Amino acid sequence: MDVSEKQVDLQLVKQAQAGDFNAFDALVAKHEQRLYRLAMGIVRQREDAEDVVQNSFLSAMEHLANFRGDAAFLTWMRRIVTNNALNVLRKRRGINITPNNCPDDDEDCLPKPEYIADWRDGVEQTVEKHELRAMLDEALAGLSDPMRVVFVLRDVEGMSTREAAEAMGISEANVKVRLLRSRMKLREILTQKFGDPDSTVDPSTVMQKLKPTG
Amino acid sequence: MDEPMPAGEEHFVSSCDDLMRVISQYVDGDIEPDLCENFEKYMAGCNPCRLVVDNITRTISLYKGEQVYEMPLDCRKRLHDCLREKWKQMHTGDHSARDV
């Protein structure tokens, strides 16, 4: 998001703070898709994602007077949505994403590539968009919740390691380990789908100490 | 931008294992110049590593570029209706609030 966009948002916030609903509504319309994507990436269920986005905007509305513009409006909203989405995960399965309870945090055990191949050219152009989205969604579903959340925050949302660590309440080191694992796992799944069989190479040529991905 | 890896901690890529340990820093462009040069030199001589790096880069690029989840129209409508209603409740009797 560039500076001018932030300024546009800030202007809309000021108008909303002055009582203009249309300004607030414009902010919602501008960011709802992106925030829904964030929520879905974490909770993975449409109804839950809808609730998360709705509750987040309601919360933003209630606390709008406190927003001073130190951070961008979108940054503020992403924090609220991430918190609410993580709460849904915690409530749903009693999931614990703290470092001591995640088996994916072992720094000494690196994931090993199992299937290595060059991807076919132009995957984005040759695969139908809806089919590609379904494939990406299915691959994401193959990650555990703690790994998926890190991947969504870092690689889809573009948060820094520090921001993701703060959002999840874990250390930056654990964010890095989980991110590596999630990237390697997704690579594995997608390479099975998009890899050119003629370009397959023997994974045993990659060092022996690594353990299989997943 | 994340902090570059401290010098001396991971400073030399001499095996596929070493490369895997810093692969995330490399694809994020968060790697010290010396280590980056070393990484690329090793990768140039190891086809499996080169492919894994390329696969990961393309994986991230796909997720960044695709709107995997799209907010349904009915969901958007419910959201805006709900917010409009809440706004009315909050601003009842508030003369500074404009009509909604």
* pLDDT given for residue A103 in this prediction: 57
Angstrom distance (rounded) from CA A48 to CA A39: 8
* pLDDT given for residue B5 in this prediction: 46
Query: What distance lies between CA A123 and its chain's CA centroid?
Result: 22
pLDDT digits (tens, 9 = 90+) for A164-178: 999 999 999 999 999
pLDDT digits (tens, 9 = 90+) for A145-161: 999 999 999 999 999 99
* pLDDT given for residue A198 in this prediction: 86
Angstrom distance (rounded) from CA A34 to CA A178: 23
- Average pLDDT, integer, range B4-22: 74
pLDDT band with cut points at 50, 70 and 90 for residue B92: confident
Nearest to A152 by CA among A42, A23, A25: A42
Angstrom distance (rounded) from CA B14 to CA A55: 51
Task: Identify which has the larger pLDDT, A174 or A104.
Answer: A174
What is the length of chain A? 214
Cβ contacts of A205 on chain B, cutoff 8 Å: 16, 46, 48
Question: Of the given ranges (A58-67, A96-105, B49-58, B87-96), which has the lowest mean pLDDT?
Answer: A96-105
Please name the residues between 16 and 45 in chain B that touch chain A, using a CB distance below 8 Å. Answer: 16-17, 20-21, 23-24, 27
Q: How many CB pairs under 8 A join A and B?
A: 157
In sequence order, the β-bridge partners of residue A22 are none
pLDDT at A97 over 60: no
User: Which ranges in chain A are annotated with CATH 1.10.10.10?
Assistant: 99-212
Nearest to B70 by CA among A128, A104, A17, A50: A50
* pLDDT given for residue B11 in this prediction: 67
The CATH number given to A3-93 is 1.10.1740.10
Cα distances from A73 to residues A7, A10, A157, A183, in angstroms, run 10, 7, 15, 29
* pLDDT given for residue B7 in this prediction: 45
Task: Identify which has the larger pLDDT, A2 or B78.
Answer: B78
User: Which ranges in chain A are annotated with CATH 1.10.1740.10?
Assistant: 3-93
Task: Identify which has the larger pLDDT, B7 or A198.
Answer: A198
The answer to whether A196 and B41 have CB atoms below 8 angstroms apart is no
Cα distances from A75 to residues A42, A49, A108, A180, B98, in angstroms, run 17, 18, 34, 24, 27
Q: Please tell me the pTM assigned to this model.
A: 0.85
Please name the residues between 42 and 61 in chain B that touch chain A, using a CB distance below 8 Å. Answer: 46-49, 51-52, 54-56, 58-60
Domain range list for chain B: 16-68
pLDDT digits (tens, 9 = 90+) for A183-195: 999 999 999 999 9
> A196: how many CB neighbours lie within 10 A of its CB?
12
Q: What are phi and psi of A183, to 5 degrees?
A: -65, -45
Please determine, looking at this structure, whether the domain spanning A99-212 carries the CATH number 2.102.10.10: no
* Residue found by looking up tokens 């090993």 in the block: A112
